[in-house]
């Protein structure tokens, strides 16, 4: 096996597909938390979480949207998505996703060929951004920005993604209204500060979790699901590191096989409870080769 590294940027979607959910989605996995977030965004004070009808499309895998949650509430079709990078194609993805939601929840239930107008829920697409690039507290991305041609009439479609910056010290009023969102922001901030101090990902996450529990920040969730939370956060930060630093990883026999080797190495280390070793391997080529020889045996010798 050759240890030469070719150039290929790690693909965000390929990494994402290895994992079911992001931690943000875990934080807002209950109707109570979703209602708090909805009220904070809309300036409302609804108090019955059972009125929320969660309709997240779990099998929408080709877009790898494992960071989303959608729900019907007060005649609005809500799509909430978490992103650690701003992608100009978010409105198109949201459009496809919302179309699927409407087909699933409305089109198949009502007669749209009759003479009577069928009222449909108003779509709301909100993206929660917490990447490291400095962005405004609130900004908007539009599907129409991607239209390449001109017709006689106004474009027949539009989809707007409202992006909210949920990094620490941003959107303070919003944070004050939703404890879960504020706590999530604090946890992420602590992890990043620990990373800046030179800690490995696993150590940075552990220290941040300990501090949050002591400070009553996501305390109940972290106490009950600590191992799961650490695994999710490790994956997110490993992914973020690769994207931000434009890590280029692949073996001589091509990009796909290189990515496959990394996925298998990650899974092996995860099973052994050695995710910190994966973190080290991503910054130490010799150590990465050593782990591949140790754990993948002769599979890569062919």
Q: Which of 109, 98, 91, 93 is nearest to 158 (CA)?
A: 91
Tell me the helices (H) and strands (E) count for the chain, helix number first.
12, 6
Confidence of residue 238 (pLDDT cuts 50, 70, 90): low
pLDDT tens sequence across 38-67: 999 999 999 999 999 999 887 654 344 466
Q: Which of 268, 235, 295 is nearest to 10 (CA)?
A: 235
Return the domain boundaries, the chain: 12-248
Q: What integer pLDDT is reported at residue 61 of this predicted model?
A: 43
The mean pLDDT value for 235-256 works out to: 51
Q: Which of 49, 27, 212 is nearest to 128 (CA)?
A: 27
pLDDT tens sequence across 181-208: 999 999 999 999 999 999 988 899 999 9
Site of tokens 């390449």: 148
How far from 32 is each of 35, 87, 116, 289, CA to CA, in Å?
Answer: 5, 29, 36, 47
pLDDT tens sequence across 271-293: 787 877 777 777 677 888 888 88
* Phi, psi (rounded to 5 degrees) for 77: -100, 110
pLDDT score of 145 more than 80: yes
Q: Which of 188, 200, 179, 284 is nearest to 232 (CA)?
A: 188
pTM for this predicted structure: 0.75
* Phi, psi (rounded to 5 degrees) for 154: -60, 150
pLDDT score of 153 more than 50: yes
């Amino acid at each position: 096996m050759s240890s030469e590294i070719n150039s290929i940027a790690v693909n965000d979607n390929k990494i994402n597909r290895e994992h079911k959910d992001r931690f943000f989605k875990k934080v807002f996995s209950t109707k109570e938390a979703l209602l708090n977030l909805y009220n904070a965004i809309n300036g409302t004070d609804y108090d019955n979480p059972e009125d929320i009808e969660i309709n997240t499309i779990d099998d929408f895998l080709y877009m790898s949207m494992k960071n989303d949650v959608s729900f019907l509430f007060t005649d609005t079709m809500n799509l909430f998505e978490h992103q650690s990078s701003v992608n100009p194609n978010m409105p198109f993805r949201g459009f496809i996703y919302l179309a699927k939601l409407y087909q699933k929840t409305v089109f198949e239930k009502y007669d749209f060929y009759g003479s009577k107008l069928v009222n449909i829920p108003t779509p709301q697409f909100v993206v929660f951004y917490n990447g490291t690039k400095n962005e405004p507290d609130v900004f908007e991305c539009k599907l129409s920005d991607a239209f390449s041609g001109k017709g006689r009439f106004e474009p027949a479609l539009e989809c707007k993604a409202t992006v909210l910056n949920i990094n620490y010290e941003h959107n303070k009023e919003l944070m004050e209204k939703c404890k879960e969102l504020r706590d999530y922001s604090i946890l992420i901030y602590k992890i990043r500060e620990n990373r800046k101090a030179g800690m490995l990902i696993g150590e940075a996450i552990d220290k941040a979790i300990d501090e949050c529990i002591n400070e009553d920040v996501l305390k109940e969730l972290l106490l009950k699901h600590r191992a799961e939370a650490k695994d999710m956060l490790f994956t997110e930060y490993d992914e973020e590191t690769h994207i931000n630093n434009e890590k280029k990883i692949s073996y001589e026999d091509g990009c796909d096989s290189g990515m496959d080797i990394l996925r298998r190495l990650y899974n092996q280390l995860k099973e052994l409870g050695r995710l910190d070793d994966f973190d080290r391997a991503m910054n130490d080529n010799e150590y990465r080769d050593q782990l591949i020889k140790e754990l993948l045996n002769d599979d890569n010798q062919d």
